[in-house]
């Protein structure tokens, strides 16, 4: 539920485009310090971090590595 404010809910499927680069503000799949996650990508002043779309979660600042794997293109929800 870390992306609930972005209207991405548990059980949704996402369509992504493989990429190793993203623009500030895009939602992406990234490997950060060995763990995969779906979050907003943020970049400012040479710093890069991942930001959830839920105020109950904290931003993720990589300690060792941040590898971009894919950029979100669509969300698919089955009813």
Instruction: Name the residue among 7, 48, 3, 5 with its Cα closest to residue 24.
Output: 48
Q: What value does the CA radius of gyration of the chain take, rounded to a whole number of Å?
A: 12
Q: Decide if 7 contacts 76 (C-beta within 8 A).
A: no
- Six-digit token string for 37: 């996650």
Q: From the candidates 2, 23, 47, 65, which is the catalytic residue?
A: 2
Residue tagged active-site, from 23, 39, 65, 73: 39
**Is 39 labeled as catalytic in the residue annotation?**
yes
65 belongs to the catalytic site: no
Q: Which residues are catalytic?
A: 2, 39
């Amino acid at each position: 539920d870390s992306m609930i404010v972005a209207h991405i809910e548990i059980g949704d499927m996402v369509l992504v485009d493989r990429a190793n680069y993203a623009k500030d503000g895009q939602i992406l799949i990234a490997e950060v310090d060995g763990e995969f996650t779906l979050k907003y990508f943020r970049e400012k002043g040479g710093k890069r971090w991942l930001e959830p779309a839920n105020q109950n979660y904290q931003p993720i600042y990589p300690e060792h590595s941040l590898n971009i794997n894919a950029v979100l293109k669509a969300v698919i929800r089955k009813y």
